[in-house]
Amino acid sequence: MSASSPLPIIPELPPSAADDYEFKFVGEGASNVVFEVIVQPHDESSRNLFQWNLLRVPKAGTKAHTYGELIQYWETVVKPLFEPEDLVQHQLVGLGGDAVVARLNEVLEKEDDTRRVDFRGSRVAKAGYGLLVEDMRQRHPDDLTLEFKPKWLAQSPNAPASAIRCRTCAREAFKHHTKPPAPANPTILCALDYLTCSSSPPILATILHHLAPSGRRPAPETPQQQTEQTQQHGQLSRWLQTNTVLPRLRAAQLANDRTGPLGADAHDAQFQLAMTLRDCTCFVRIPADPSAPVEAKLADLDKKNWAAKLGYWQATERRLIEGGYYAGTEVPRQETDCQLERVAKGAGEGGKGEV
């Protein structure tokens, strides 16, 4: 938003929305909740707003910035780093009063039993604005959709010389140490593999196994569905090998962090941006229609509350170094599959070939 561009018109939910609209829980993170909004068929203007968009609202009691600040940061700092098609688009929407927030909280309360344990009981904040975010879910029941966090695509500048794990694998090993992984999902995907899979078929196979395990989709019921799924698998492989968005994200993470958390201060705007870039989500949609293009977009590129988080980031980095999580010497040893360890062991020893 430059100083000279006109202020965008912010749409507003009508006062009757709490009673007239249906709100369905879609997902949540530590700071936000996302809902699908279903409007009356005759309400054409609202139908246009919500046909391809979801409603994202802030949770109460977090240290996150207001949506006005998030939009300003995204427009001026994040957006210039990417191509428009790399980013999930969004716009502010007025919530039309506390009745909508109360309604959203009723929906959330009903979900409590199935929510992530540490999120249970958290509620939507009494905010004036939400965000309309481009809906990245399936548009057709046979579309293949994926969601993952690329995290740290390059090593932390603070990693010790003895590191055989990247920052993402070290952090995951620490997490598994304090909270053992679910039996269904025991292995860790090394974030560095996203960038090297283009030149290594075994690494590509590992990523495909993590992102699109065959058991997660219903088995094809017709020859047409079988063909579609094979095509989509091929499209996903090609996307992983040729996309430009993850290399661009990695380059921006590297360019904006020369010191790592231990050398940064709360006023270091570049480091702060790097931390935003390390906590985004990548959505991929591969349409069932083979002539339609693959869409892959980054979301959740929110400005971090640096003053509130710097202490946590520094303490995490120290814990990973001092606890031996980078060096792989923690006790008991956690199972990881880091590219750095594979390289250190030598590509020949049953590893995954050149990386």
Ligand X SMILES: Nc1ncnc2c1ncn2[C@@H]1O[C@H](COP(=O)(O)OP(=O)(O)OP(=O)(O)O)[C@@H](O)[C@H]1O
Residues making contact with ligand 5MY (CB under 6 A)? 29-31, 149, 171, 275, 279, 304, 309, 313
Residue (5 or 114) nearer to ligand X, CB = 114
Question: In this chain, which of 18, 21, 23, 32 binds ligand X, going by CB under 6 A?
Answer: 32
Picked from ligand X, ligand 5MY, none, the partner binding residue 304 (CB below 5 to 8 A depending on kind) is ligand 5MY
Question: In this chain, which of 37, 50, 55, 56 binds ligand X, going by CB under 6 A?
Answer: 56
Amino acid at position 270, single letter: Q
- Cα–Cα distance for residue pair 128/138, rounded to 1 Å: 29
Residue (171 or 250) nearer to ligand 5MY, CB = 171
Residues 127-166 that bind ligand X (CB under 6 A): 133-137, 147
**Is-contact 173 332, C-beta < 8 A?**
no
- Cα–Cα distance for residue pair 236/286, rounded to 1 Å: 7
Residue (70 or 163) nearer to ligand X, CB = 70
- Cα–Cα distance for residue pair 72/118, rounded to 1 Å: 30
With vertex at residue 9, the alpha carbon angle to CA 99 and CA 22, rounded to the nearest 5 degrees, is 30
Amino acid at position 250, single letter: R
Residues 321-340 that bind ligand X (CB under 6 A): none
Q: How far is the CB of 54 from ligand X (least distance, A)?
A: 5
Q: How far is the CB of 15 from ligand X (least distance, A)?
A: 26
Q: How far is the CB of 230 from ligand X (least distance, A)?
A: 25
Residues 264-283 that bind ligand X (CB under 6 A): 279, 281, 283
3-state secondary structure 302-322: CCCCHHHHHHHHHHHHHHHHH
The one segment of 28-36, 95-103, 225-233, 239-247 that binds ligand X by CB under 6 A: 28-36
DSSP-derived 3-state class of residue 243? coil
**Is-contact 274 304, C-beta < 8 A?**
no
Residues 57-96 that bind ligand X (CB under 6 A): 88
Q: Which residues contact 25 (CB under 8 A, 6 or more apart)?
A: 33, 34, 35, 107, 108, 111
Q: Which residues contact 225 (CB under 8 A, 6 or more apart)?
A: 142
Residue (171 or 297) nearer to ligand 5MY, CB = 171
Number of residues that bind ligand X (CB under 6 A): 22
The residues binding ligand X (CB under 6 A) are: 26-32, 34, 54, 56, 88, 133-137, 147, 279, 281, 283, 299-300
